[in-house]
Structure 1
Amino acid sequence: MNSVNLIKYFIILTAFFALSHSQMQAQQRFSIGVIPEFNLDYKLSERVFVKHGFELQEIFYNKEDDSKLQFNKLDIQNILGFITSEKSSVGVGYLFRVKEGHRYYHRTTQQFSFKKTIASLPISHRLRTDQTFSDEKPKFRFRYRVKTVFKFKEEALAAGDKYLAASLETLYIRESQSDDFENRVYLGLGFLINSKSDFEIGLDWRTDDYLVSGFRNRLWLTASYSYHL
């Protein structure tokens, strides 16, 4: 796929987010925020790897209370992974979360990831389950995410290259005898700084509370830096 087509897709998808904004504002529950994120990963052996993630969420617009900039949550996540084949891996993890009001959460995760190529387009799949515990009711989720990367040239990515990343994730949520779903659509522009680091900026649109009253829309502006040891 050439750079002209990639730019067209980026403009179309960005326009989709912009047009959706007016529709989201009509909803009772709508917020906009920012998510800065830092990721670090490295190998312990040929088949064992570790990933660390640090994520902050700040809300600067909330239609429900017309509030200004406010802290939402801070996540610190660690994943221990095992490569099972050339294109698949499994992993287990733990996440510690701090939310507004000094509330603390603990989450355990299990995941299976695999990759495929369709018409020269790399497709990454991830199946994940997680369990969240706090002084509230425990929450259980099943998640499926599909992600791809569009290159601006035919050759393999090299230092200084740009790319587009897009993903779609659906979550089934079970909490306190009730069920719900959440959908996440992400579009980002990435920069390969060098062989060990990359940077992405993007839009992450999340919708949930489909099965309970008060359907919710959240639009996040994301900035992510990853370093690979």
Structure 2
Amino acid sequence: MLFVISVQAQSVFQVGILPSAVLTDKKENDWSVIYEIDSRQLLSKGTFNGFTENKYEYFLTDFSVLGAKKISPKSRLAGGYLLRIEQDKIFHRFIQQYTYTHQLDSLALSHRFSSDQTFSPAEKPEFRLRYRLATEIPLAGKTVDADELYFKISNEYLNSWQDSEYDLEMRLVPLLGFNFRNDKKVEMGMDYRLDSFLQNNTRHSFWMNVNLLIEL
């Protein structure tokens, strides 16, 4: 419904690719260190009822590292740092996360609550509160085994405060993945984001995800 209403209101869109690589290094005593790099590349932008510009444009690159500790069989705490390079701007982000997995029959629901604080000499500080609900569904059997396909979907809500201005962003990310035997996964799908609709300046973002996940 929000998509239909915002399209009618002369909203803008952007389309691009978002490849990422995630390396999880498991340590002793239920600790792990997570390294991630992702980069957004813009391919097209415009308005739904107006112009469209098809042109490649480098958008940004993120480098992050998180330390995570499993505090129970179903929950985990994590915290870390992200460095963002956006054209001629540098951003520093500090991240705190709590993840809880709820088993519902044969379906596992992952709830992630997180906050982050972003600082840059070029902009005012930004503070966000986030909630994400995700699940992973095997396409063969009851669990995701080696050499099998799976479907993953997540829905996230991001509350943002910057210089006394509030914004809400919604994300829907369906992915098709393949689990290899050597603790590697590859996922592909669409990352759809809707934001700025509270200020009547709605923006739709469509990012093609290509993710490589490796565990050590």
TM-score, scaled to structure 2: 0.91
C-alpha separation between the residues in 1 aligned to 2:8 and 2:29? Answer: 49
2:172 pairs with one of 157, 170, 185 = 185
**Partner Cα distance (1:184, 1:155) in 2:** 27
Distance 1:180 1:78 in 2: 26
- Please tell me the residue identity of whatever aligns with 2:194: T
More strand by percentage: 2
Counterpart in the other structure of 1:40? 23
CA deviation after TM superposition for structure 1 residue 195, in Å: 4.3
Q: Residue 152 of structure 2 aligns to a residue in which SS?
A: strand
Is the Cα–Cα contact under 8 Å of residues 93 and 110 in structure 1 kept in the other structure? yes
CA deviations on 1:49-107 (whole Å, 9 max, x unpaired) are 1101000000100116725010010000100011100110101110000002x100000
Q: Deviations over 1:21-68 (max 9, x none)?
A: 9x8597431010100000000122122111010000001001167250
RMSD between aligned alpha carbons?
Answer: 1.7
In 1, the alpha carbon distance for the partners of 2:26 and 2:179 equals 20
Give the structure with the higher percent helix.
1
Contact 1:24 1:30 in 2 (8 A): no
Determine if contact 1:27/1:217 at 8 Å carries over to the other structure: no
Matched residue pairs, number? Answer: 208
Runs of 4+ in 1 over 6 A off after TM superposition: none
SS in 2 for 1:182: strand
Q: Pick the aligned partner of 2:186 from 190, 199, 209.
A: 199
**Aligned amino acid, residue 199 of structure 1:** V
Structure 1 unmatched runs, 5+: 1-19
The gaps in structure 2 that reach 5 residues or longer are none
SS at match of 1:126: strand
- 2:201 is matched with 214
Q: What is the distance in 2 between the residues matched to 1:122 and 1:148?
A: 6
- Secondary structure of residue in 2 paired with 1:69: strand
| Contact 2:83 2:91 (C-alpha < 8 Å) held by counterparts | yes
